[in-house]
Each structure stands twice: as structure tokens, then as C-alpha cells.
Amino acid sequence: MSTTVFDSALFRDMFGTAEIRNVFSDKALIERYIEVEVALARAQARCGVIPAAAAEEIAAKADYASLDLTLMQHETEIVGYPILPLVEQLSKCCGEAGRYVHWGATTQDIMDTAVVLQVRDALVIVERDVQAVRGLLADLAKRYRDTPMAGRTHLQHALPITFGYKCAVWLSMFDRHAERLVELRPRVEIGQFAGAAGTLASLGDKGLEVQESLMAELGLGVPQATWHVARDGLAETLNFLGLVTGSLGKVALDVMMMMTSELGEVYEPFVKGRGASSTMPQKRNPISCELMYAAAKGVRQQAGLMLDAMIQDFERSTGPWQAEWVAIPEAFALTAGSLAQAKFMLAGLDVRTERMRQNLDMTRGLIVAEAVMMGLAPELGRQVAHDVVYAACRVANDESISLLDALLRDPEVADRLPRAELQRLTDPANYLGLAPQMVDRALERPGRVQR
């Protein structure tokens, strides 16, 4: 019986993906535990700590299919951790070689390393999807490089921009996330093998050799020092996911607001019935964006939980470690779900360029009051030009006329600039600044998947 959105038959593909669930499923986790135990036996055999024949027997017989999962679940609840129940079953499965299962290890060694293996697989998915989002945003930035629209600050018209520029701003965030991920992975993809108090005392002078051999077996980095209670790597990972989903939430919020009836500048892809209301047939709700927005809030909570869980006592914590068991799978599920929604939404984004132009013109030129001020400044001085244009804006607002008409009424303006020049200055499409060139610069960024 499901109890959360992550395992709900109704909601699980809205707040996650089948692919990410496979990475963090019970089966995958237990298989990772077994993988680490087998790799440990092989590493110890290579270092002469246990017999080679025993390692071969453990590798051959340690198998998920042989486990009694009901018994393992019952004993895990009693013990508080799954490794002792697992080791007991694996030891029986492996016969004489079973005495060498888990040799010199502690529970957290196996669990931490298994989680790192899961995180490594999950980050491959995140990396792939971040690259896909980068490609989609680059396409949009290029296609709409010169498409004028209203730039908005404090929810009001500010200056004209282009839709391509807006997409380039979004793109820049994900370019940085791609860089962060490259830098992050070597810091977090580090295994754990240190023994009861982190000193590898049970293996004598073979401890570090076994540790290095184990990490080579698993393809993980060798720890600088035991990280049983030094959890910055996993905390950094979840806060990275918070950054990714925060950026996705920013994109989602922009798109949701641009989908409002009053703006109508973009829409999520049309799928019959998607975003429909049970009572209002006209509705086309921003479903993907809403899920992305919600995911950002959820991941933020789990990232905060990981920061809290960093504060651990002495050489083995009492409680914070267990909090990670909640935070890590849920944060990755939400991130994968949000990225999947973003890929769907951006790939089919319905961009209404004519509505963008209509909205840009709705203030009858007021959005480019700065352009007129700067055009008059050489003639009148900057402050006088500001005051003259400010007064014209008030007239335009009060009388519902265009800024051009209000300016032409003022002899101080009409005598200084010809009508054609005032028309040019009050056309928003002529005041895009360097928005198109900024798009070009964003598109030159290396390392992006080309579509």
C-alpha cells in the first residue's frame, strides 16, 4: 500500500521517474550492499587478508535472489540497520566461505558505500537531463534571439528584451550547473571503508591497502580520511540538487506567469485533457510548471535536512545519519521528476510572438521612456530630459494617449527632435539593447549538447 507521492500509482511519475526509482529501490539498494560485500572480499583476497577461494565463493553465492526478504525486514526493524541481517543470510549462503563475509567492516562502511554507488548512478541521470535542458534552452534562445517582448521588473513593464534573451538567462543557470556537477562528482563519489571507529584497526597494517583495493574494485575515489561523521559530500550533492530544482522552479514560475490570461505569451505543449478543469472547460493549467515549482520546494527542504544532518557527534552519530535515508532518495526523485517535466515543457513550448508584441505595445511607448530620455539628453541635459519625459509619461497615462503624441505636444521636445526620430525612439523594437548579442555570447558556451 503506497503512502507517498513517490510510490503512489497516481502520482509517482509526476514527482519522479521509473528510472530514478530503479536506482533507489529496495532491490537496487540491497544489491548495492551485496556488491560492496563482494568487492570487499575480492579486495581482501587480493591483499592476502582472506583466502582467494573464499572470495571466489562469496562472489559466486552472494545473491539477492537467495535472500529471505521478509526475515531481513523483520530483523532490520529489531537491529535498526539492514547490514547485520544481510550478512547473516549471506554467510549461510556462502557455506565455509561465509566466515569471511564483512571481514573487518562496519555497518556504515557498507551502507555509505552503497549509497555513494546509488548517488553515482543518479548523478549520471541528472547530468544527462541537465544537458538535455541546456540543449532545449539553447534552441529557444537561438530561435527567438530577436523576438521583442516586454521585460518586467517588480511585475511591471521595465524595458524591452527579447524572448531569446530570457531563454539565454535561463540557459546560463544550467551551464553553471553543468560545471558544478563536473566539480562535484569527484568529491562525492568516494567510498567508505574504515571499520568500527574509522581507524581500520581490525586489519592491522593491511587496512589502507584493502581500502584502496576496494575502491579500485568499485571505481570509487579513496577517502582522504574516514567520513563516517563528515557528511559534506552528500550535503553538497543535495544542495546541488536544490540549485538545479531552484533554477527549474524559476523557469516554471516565469512560464506560469506568461501563461496567465492577461499575458498569454507562452503555453505548455498542448495535450488533450492536460491541465483541464473539472468545472471550467476553458482552462489550460500549467501542470508541468506547477510540478517543477513544487519539486523545488521539496528539494529545498531535503537539502536543508542534509545540512542539519552534518552536525554529528564524535566518531559515529546518534540520529542524523538516519535522516539521510529519507533525504537522499526523495531529493533525487523530485529532481529527476522536475527535469523530466522541464524536458517535456521546453521541447514543445508554444510561443506566441504576436502576443508578446501586443503586450509590448500596450503602454503605447511608455516602456521606452528611457530611450526618449537618452535621445533628448544631448539636447537638454540628462536631468532636464528626464523631467520632460516624466511629464510626458504622466500626460500619456492620464489621457490614454501614446508617449509619442504626448511628446509632440511639448514644444521643447518637438523643436529639438524631428517626428521621425521620436517615432524611432518610441518603437520598443528599436530599444533592445544588447539582448541579441548576449544571446550570441550564451550560445558560444562550450560543452553543451548541440541539437
In degrees, to the nearest 5, what angle opens at C-alpha 304 toward C-alphas 302 and 310? 105
Could you say which of 74, 157, 277, 338 is catalytic?
A: 277
Maximum Cα interatomic distance, the chain, rounded to a whole number of Å: 103
Question: How far lies 221's CA from each of 42, 115, 125, 192, 202, in Å?
Answer: 17, 14, 20, 9, 22
Q: Compute the Cα dihedral for 231, 232, 233, 238 and give only its sign.
A: positive
Could you say which of 154, 261, 278, 400 is catalytic?
A: 154
Closest by CA position to 349, among listed 235, 446, 258, 449 = 258
Task: At 255, list the grid cell.
Answer: 512560464
Owner of C-alpha cell 574509522: 198
Q: Is 386 in the active site? A: no
d(CA 233, CA 310): 10
**Which DSSP string corresponds to 101-132?**
TTTT--HHHHHHHHHHHHHHHHHHHHHHHHHH
What residues contact 220, with CB distance under 8 A and at least 6 apart? 113, 116, 117, 120, 189, 190, 191
Closest by CA position to 23, among listed 314, 260, 329, 273 = 329
Q: In sequence order, what are the beta bridge partners of 148?
A: 162
Q: Residue 38: exposed, middle, or buried by beta-carbon count in 10 A (0-12, 13-18, 19+)?
A: buried
**Which DSSP string corresponds to 383-406?**
HHHHHHHHHHHHHHHHHT--HHHH
* E-only strand ranges, 172-321: 266-267
* E-only strand ranges, 137-268: 148-153, 156-162, 266-267
Owner of C-alpha cell 567492516: 105
d(CA 132, CA 122): 15
Q: How many residues does the chain have?
A: 451
Q: Is 154 in the active site? A: yes
- Residues with catalytic function: 154, 277
